[in-house]
Amino acid sequence: MEMTILSVAEHIGAAVEGDPSVEITGVASIEEAIPGDLVFAETERLFRAAEESQATAIIAPVGLGVSRKPVLRVHRPRYAFARALELFAPEQSVKVGVHPTAVLGESARLGHSVAIQPYCVIGKNVRIGNRVVIYPFVYIGNDVTIGDDTIIYPNTAIHDRTEIGHRVVINSGCVIGADGFGFLIHEGRHYKIPQIGNVSIGDDVEIGANATIDRARTGTTRIHRGTKIDNLVQIAHNVEIGEDCIIVAQVGISGSVEVGDRVILAGQAGIKDNIAIGSDSMVGAQAGVIGDVPPNSVVSGYPARPHKDQMRVHASLHRLPEIVKTFPEIAVAIQRLTERIEELEQRLDGSGQ
Amino acid sequence: MEMTILSVAEHIGAAVEGDPSVEITGVASIEEAIPGDLVFAETERLFRAAEESQATAIIAPVGLGVSRKPVLRVHRPRYAFARALELFAPEQSVKVGVHPTAVLGESARLGHSVAIQPYCVIGKNVRIGNRVVIYPFVYIGNDVTIGDDTIIYPNTAIHDRTEIGHRVVINSGCVIGADGFGFLIHEGRHYKIPQIGNVSIGDDVEIGANATIDRARTGTTRIHRGTKIDNLVQIAHNVEIGEDCIIVAQVGISGSVEVGDRVILAGQAGIKDNIAIGSDSMVGAQAGVIGDVPPNSVVSGYPARPHKDQMRVHASLHRLPEIVKTFPEIAVAIQRLTERIEELEQRLDGSGQ
Amino acid sequence: MEMTILSVAEHIGAAVEGDPSVEITGVASIEEAIPGDLVFAETERLFRAAEESQATAIIAPVGLGVSRKPVLRVHRPRYAFARALELFAPEQSVKVGVHPTAVLGESARLGHSVAIQPYCVIGKNVRIGNRVVIYPFVYIGNDVTIGDDTIIYPNTAIHDRTEIGHRVVINSGCVIGADGFGFLIHEGRHYKIPQIGNVSIGDDVEIGANATIDRARTGTTRIHRGTKIDNLVQIAHNVEIGEDCIIVAQVGISGSVEVGDRVILAGQAGIKDNIAIGSDSMVGAQAGVIGDVPPNSVVSGYPARPHKDQMRVHASLHRLPEIVKTFPEIAVAIQRLTERIEELEQRLDGSGQ
């Protein structure tokens, strides 16, 4: 793919400094750039690195640096770079139509321009929106609905009654709507509590590879609009996650947790069941949340507490061994001082003062 | 689905208070109940909430609350609720028979009423019990045996020589019997130790979505009867897990660990290799177990220690920064006191007392 | 399978003590050995256990123990045992050829003796080396290259433009080359940053079941030669992992992390984005690495610090509650001593001394 700097600039809304007719053939990081590449520099340091790199042109914020290379000046450089990446993204050639090997259940209703690739199995009474793409080895149970422009990558299983919105991306290997993990002790053994609810995924949600989202016991496990979920995340039954959250890889969210809007859960964090995490909060990597988190909080550690307190604790921890070692000496010192004072007191008493 | 309260009561073993002819159309949580729903209230507070909800009837323990709604009185309310959920669970329509697209190896022996759905691949010399259900895209290797009434959900791989009991549930995306992670250093590189053992799964075991259970190096990785394993759990080679354990999501169990009976491993806990965890023990969420755990223990934290001690440590941790800050002042204070005492001693000595 | 001790000894490079014509029928751990089995004893204690076991013969280092059973003497017993396991590993019968149900895209180039099993879907312009084995339900995208003797187990998805070396083993359920998790805030919502890079997997790499390795934003996510990755590991976009590393189960590596050669990341460890971990370092289980780790380091805990310091901290932690409890008493004691000294000083001052 080849485009002039002028065409790229028009697409990303940039002003061009330098020759607008120069050809761009790719987008790269500064370290890996080869001639023809467009790179992105947000700071003085990166701008200088870009200038010295083999890159042909630079996207940079207005007012940053001067270059002999053509510069595409923008106000929101990260967004502009994302838009440039879109231009040079390898084409996804998806063949519209239902592959003859796909097995469709009764009463399936498909929108137009749907692509159902080889070896998909789709249950009864499934509704699939327009321009949906379903990759090979996707299993879709009965009574599932899928909105327009949604993409489901290979080897994913969507169980009965799941509701999926528009423009959802479900990466490979996900399991959506498996039974929640619910048992009770009956006659000394674990008795399965039927999980008769479902899962609902809002518009513009993205779900990472091999993530699992369990159906509700009764009612619905809900992921609201715009939330992005990374790989290998576990979301248990009856969880409700608000809008525009970021759930990083390997996070585990236990049953009936409520997460507000715009919450960030960093990697490998774990949330105890029946906890509420307020909107605009952030939970640190590997944190273990065992109590409610108010809105606008930043918590970390196990058990999770305000991040500032936690950082103070971590900063003091390496002093602990010394304190533990010295601590008994203090008791001894105080004891020794007490004895010397008693002696002094006795001497003074003895002297009649 | 519609049932009278009387029919529900007969199924779950309840005594009816109020009109037994009222129709029930579903089961729900108190918050989500709509007219027609049966709900479950175990405490005074929940009973009042149920009374005020839109629910049509309430399952409650004998002696708890009075309602204008029909109440189904039971002795074990959680069990009764699970039984009610069974009644209203959406029907799983499974078509008995082997789908023509399934690929079966030589010498496969199938029980009666088996359902093998589209696009399953089953190896040589496999024995499958009665009423087994195998969903699409399940791979079963050679010499595998599967007991009666077992269900294997889509996209699961069961590798060679795995033994699976009766009434086992294996959720979607599991990998059972892949090679254990065993290497040795040979001529400066990692040399693979062949993993020639297998996996054995006892009766009534349930395995969560995308969980992995590795085959043994030699011998067998064993999960005993009645143990329930949640999503994304990792069980390494040569692990042995006892009966009726609960292994919560994202737990990792390293090689050759022995877990007793009725052990609970909470979410994201990790167990070091070659550890023994005694029966009836509980390991807290995110705990890191690096030494044997005696029976009937409750441990948590990293490294895992008795939970009570750990809680005391956690409770004191937020005081640590203050102690670290004040600690040097104590040394100074003691030094100052010592000097004043020395001065007093000298004055007294000087005075001849 | 049956072999004489002599044949086994020749294969593994051992000297035989005792009758070389005895038949061996399997390899086992000492605890599980039955007559006919060969076992492995590396220490005095294990040698005695082997001697008392039902095993027929023992692999042992030169100079360790005396037995009435035949002993195969070797210099590197673990390696010899691995070689013996190879002899007795159940045969993997793989049928060479492309199964008629496999769907191959245009311009696929296959080496000789390739086995493509039922229900594989392979994209356009894919190059597959000699003797490659691809199990059922493997999805391979466009423009993928796969080296000689590589094995891809069932239900794995390899996305577009992935490069895979020779003798690579990819276990079941892996997802290689899915989009990295990259978003920016645009007009108050998460805007997807296109992930146009790819993944490259070096020779002799092994990847555990249900592991996920994301493609780079631009450029390449790289796993170098000989690195072994366990189950359920997450490797984010633009990560680079050196040669001969060991990445244990459920580790999570964030975006743009650089890992050197021969690094060991123990189970459930997490690495923050943009961190560098030097060669020959070791990161403890469940550690949370939030800063660069120099070569040859051993770190653990959260935040990860030198393991020795961390162990000292852990050893002192259980003393903390006592210190927190006693700490205020020290202030009181010092205050009390101060008052007594003041009194003494006044008495002495009053006495004119």
Q: Which of residues 97-136 of A touch B (CB under 8 A)?
A: 101, 103, 119, 121, 124
Residues A199 and A281 in one domain: yes
C247 part of a folded domain: yes
pLDDT digits (tens, 9 = 90+) for A6-49: 999 999 999 999 999 999 999 999 999 999 999 999 999 999 99
B97 part of a folded domain: no
3-state DSSP of A160-201: CCCEECCCCEECCCCEEEECCCCEEEECCEEEECCCCCEEEE
Q: Which of residues 29-48 of B touch C (CB under 8 A)?
A: none
DSSP-based three-state secondary structure for C308: helix
In the sheet where A298-300 sits, what is the strand order? Answer: A97-98, A115-116, A133-134, A151-152, A169-170, A206-207, A228-229, A246-247, A264-265, A282-283, A298-300, A305-306
Is the pLDDT reported for residue B337 higher than 60? yes
Q: According to the model, what pLDDT value does residue A352 have?
A: 57
**Region of poorest pLDDT, from B96-105, B125-134, C339-348:** C339-348
Q: Would residue A190 show up in a list of annotated catalytic residues for this protein?
A: no
Q: Which of A263, A282, A303 is the last residue of a domain?
A: A303
C197: exposed, middle or buried (Cβ count in 10 Å: 0-12, 13-18, 19+): buried
Average pLDDT over residues C286-302: 97
Residues C228 and C325 in one domain: no
Please choose, from the candidates C274, B213, C278, B301, the residue with its C-alpha nearest in 3D space to the C-alpha of residue C265. Answer: C278
Annotated catalytic residue, options A237, A307, A314, A318: A237
Is some CB atom of chain A closer than 8 A to the CB atom of C272?
yes
C137 part of a folded domain: no
C96 part of a folded domain: no
pLDDT digits (tens, 9 = 90+) for A77-98: 899 999 999 999 987 778 999 9
Is the pLDDT reported for residue A351 higher than 80? no
The whole domain housing A211 covers 156-303
Residues B190 and B292 in one domain: yes
Cβ–Cβ below 8 Å for A193 and B268: no
A130 part of a folded domain: no
C78 part of a folded domain: yes
Distance from CA of C268 to the nearest CA of B (A): 7
Residues B201 and B292 in one domain: yes
CA nearest to C29 within chain B: B218
Average pLDDT over residues C52-77: 94
Is some CB atom of chain B closer than 8 A to the CB atom of C139?
no
- Beta-bridged to residue C299, according to DSSP, are C283, C306
Closest partner residue to A179 (CB to CB) among B137, B171, B314 is B171
Peptide bond preceding B136: is omega within 30 degrees of 0, i.e. cis? no
To the nearest 10°, report the CA torsion of B5, B10, B16, B18. 30
Residues C229 and C276 in one domain: yes
**Region of poorest pLDDT, from B115-124, B214-223, B331-340:** B331-340
Q: How far apart are CA C300 and CA B314, in angstroms?
A: 19
CATH of the domain at B293: 2.160.10.10
Is the pLDDT reported for residue A141 higher than 80? yes
Q: According to the model, what pLDDT value does residue B352 have?
A: 57
Residues A317 and A234 in one domain: no
Closest partner residue to A194 (CB to CB) among B85, B324, B345 is B85
Q: At what angle do helices C77-88 and C5-12 cross, to 10 degrees?
A: 120
Is the pLDDT reported for residue B215 higher than 60? yes
Residues B324 and B267 in one domain: no
- From residue B328, alpha-carbon distances to A327, B332, B338 in Å are 11, 6, 15
Distance from CA of A263 to the nearest CA of B (A): 21
Peptide bond preceding A303: is omega within 30 degrees of 0, i.e. cis? yes
Residue with tokens 């009053």: C350
Is the pLDDT reported for residue A156 higher than 90? yes
Closest partner residue to C268 (CB to CB) among B103, B252, B348 is B252
Q: In the structure encoding, which two tokens stand for residue C300, read together?
A: 């653990």
- Beta-bridged to residue C146, according to DSSP, are C128, C164
> Hey, how many other C-beta atoms are within 10 angstroms of the C-beta on A207?
28
Is some CB atom of chain A closer than 8 A to the CB atom of B330?
yes
Q: Which of C285, C303, C321 is the last residue of a domain?
A: C303
Is some CB atom of chain B closer than 8 A to the CB atom of A286?
yes
Between A and B, how many CB-CB pairs are < 8 A? 202
CATH of the domain at B79: 3.40.1390.10
Average pLDDT, chain A: 95
Interface probe for B, chosen from C324, C334, C338, C349 (most Cβ of B below 10 Å), is C324
Residues A80 and A57 in one domain: yes
Contact between residue C241 and residue C247 where contact means Cβ atoms under 8 Å apart: yes
Residues B182 and B69 in one domain: no
Is the pLDDT reported for residue B234 higher than 80? yes
**Chain B contact set for C228 (CB, 8 A):** 181, 183, 190
C16 part of a folded domain: yes
Residues C66 and C174 in one domain: no
C97 part of a folded domain: no
Residues B199 and B333 in one domain: no
Residues B172 and B206 in one domain: yes
Cβ–Cβ below 8 Å for A249 and C250: no
Interface probe for B, chosen from A120, A212, A299 (most Cβ of B below 10 Å), is A212
Q: According to the model, what pLDDT value does residue C327 have?
A: 87
Closest partner residue to C212 (CB to CB) among A209, A244, A353 is A209
**Chain C contact set for B179 (CB, 8 A):** 169, 171
Closest partner residue to C175 (CB to CB) among A209, A324, A348 is A209
> Hey, how many other C-beta atoms are within 10 angstroms of the C-beta on B48?
14
Is the pLDDT reported for residue B343 higher than 90? no
Distance from CA of B244 to the nearest CA of A (A): 6
Q: Which of residues 210-249 of B touch A (CB under 8 A)?
A: 210, 226, 228, 230-232, 244, 246, 248-249
Number of structural domains found in chain B: 3
**Chain C contact set for A246 (CB, 8 A):** 183, 190
Contact between residue C40 and residue C61 where contact means Cβ atoms under 8 Å apart: no
Cβ–Cβ below 8 Å for A231 and C181: yes
Is some CB atom of chain A closer than 8 A to the CB atom of C332?
no
Q: Which of C88, C115, C135 is the last residue of a domain?
A: C88
Distance from CA of B187 to the nearest CA of A (A): 34
Average pLDDT over residues C277-286: 98
Average pLDDT over residues A295-322: 94
Q: How far apart are CA C341 and CA A343, in angstroms?
A: 12
Q: How far apart are CA A175 and CA A211, in angstroms?
A: 7
